[in-house]
Amino acid sequence: MASHLPRRVTGLVAATFTPLTEEGELNLSVIEPYINYLGKEQDVRNIFVNGTTGEGMSFSVEERKSLAAEWCLRAKGKMDYVIVHVGCLSLKDSMELAQHAGKVGADGIAVVSPSFFKPKTADALRLYLQKVASAAPTLPFYYYHIPTLTGVNLLASDVCKGIKKLIPSFSGVKFTGTDLMDFGLCVKYSQAEHLLLYGIDEQLLTSLVLGANGAVGSLYNYLGRHYNKLLVAFAEGDLDSARACQFNVQVFLAFASQYGFDVALNKQLMSDLSGLNLGPPRLPVIPCPSATVATIAEKCRQIFLQN
């Protein structure tokens, strides 16, 4: 086991989309240019793969392994930190993916709660997370809290209680929720021991005030540079500029929401804005009409190229 402390992830973490061919198969060849784009064009040095944005739950264990291996391989020397999401409905599948993530060189793993049979108590969820973590005991472990998608409404601050004793590799929470009291309690109880990564990009600024250590989200794929300005402004105490950055994102998302902003639209928007060909989403998600994507991409350029 390494004698040094695990490196800490800070700043922006792009939750990557999964590149597919027109036929809906993995398109691994896009991963290397994707990583180059994030580094060079967006100044983003951390990635979170196979999560919500990456439609991770829609892929088979084998596909998820291929993706994790390729992202880790191509990220070497270019990204500072790769977190692989390994949550599944089956505990055994998650354990297999956790072990695999360690073998291919991930810097950390994250796990959502199972969402068909749901844990009824924080205790039950902690025991589940402990099992997954035990398959890769030296890999930094993150709990991924996303109640709107899992339907598991346990407070993250309850899940984190005493978790370090159960999971020695516990390193933090990816908190994708709007309950800022729960988020605040996570920060308070962590006592700076583990990280709080916030996951609702449109209200990142609020989480920074409460002590977020970093941000994981889909918008950092194409608005990384913009969000880096927000982080700098906040760090310098320039709240007017930080708010202006955040409000621009809110104006943009309010516009995009009128068209039903979802992972399909988001992925197609990324293809349009980056020039990468990420392909369609996987069923049951349905692609968005290209005219709609073009309208939203245009709005995005209008807002963010001027500011």
Ligand X SMILES: CC(=O)N[C@H](C=O)[C@@H](O)[C@H](O)[C@H](O)CO
Q: Active-site positions?
A: 144, 174
Shortest Å distance, C-beta 7 to ligand X: 22
Q: Which of 221, 303, 223 is nearest to 267 (CA)?
A: 221
Shortest Å distance, C-beta 167 to ligand CC(=O)C(=O)O: 20
Q: How big is the site for ligand X, counted in residues (CB under 6 A)?
A: 13
In this chain, which of 199, 214, 224, 281 binds ligand CC(=O)C(=O)O, going by CB under 6 A?
A: 199
Q: Which residues pair with 198 in a beta bridge?
A: 175, 215
Helix (H, G, I), strand (E, B) or coil at 58: helix
Q: Which of 202, 203, 205, 153 is nearest to 182 (CA)?
A: 153
Residue 53 structure tokens: 């944005």
Query: Interface with ligand X includes 224 (CB under 6 A)?
Result: no
Strands 141-145 and 11-15: unpaired
In this chain, which of 34, 37, 48, 81 binds ligand CC(=O)C(=O)O, going by CB under 6 A?
A: 48
CB count within 10 Å of CB 143 equals 27
Shortest Å distance, C-beta 201 to ligand X: 4
Query: Interface with ligand X includes 176 (CB under 6 A)?
Result: yes
Please choose which of ligand X, ligand CC(=O)C(=O)O, none residue 202 contacts, taking the beta carbon within 5 to 8 angstroms, the exact cut-off set by kind. ligand X
Q: What share of the chain is helix, strand, coil (3-state, %, to 5)?
A: 50, 15, 35
Choices 51-59, 119-127, 186-194, 297-305; region in contact with ligand CC(=O)C(=O)O by CB under 6 A: 51-59
Choices 62-70, 90-98, 127-135, 217-225; region in contact with ligand X by CB under 6 A: 217-225
Nearer to ligand X, 42 or 53 (CB): 53
Residue appearing with tokens 């601050």? 157
- Cβ-based neighbours of 75, under 8 Å, separated by 6 or more: 35, 47, 82
Nearer to ligand CC(=O)C(=O)O, 142 or 234 (CB): 142
12 CB-contact burial (10 Å; exposed 0-12 / middle 13-18 / buried 19+) = buried
Q: Where are the extended beta strands (E) located within the chain?
A: 11-15, 46-49, 81-85, 108-112, 141-145, 170-175, 195-198, 214-217
Q: Which residues pair with 47 in a beta bridge?
A: 14, 82
Please choose which of ligand X, ligand CC(=O)C(=O)O, none residue 279 contacts, taking the beta carbon within 5 to 8 angstroms, the exact cut-off set by kind. none
Query: Interface with ligand X includes 55 (CB under 6 A)?
Result: no
Query: Interface with ligand CC(=O)C(=O)O includes 220 (CB under 6 A)?
Result: no
| Site of interaction with ligand CC(=O)C(=O)O (CB under 6 A) | 15, 48, 51-54, 199, 216-218
| Site of interaction with ligand X (CB under 6 A) | 15, 52-53, 146, 149, 176, 199-202, 217-219
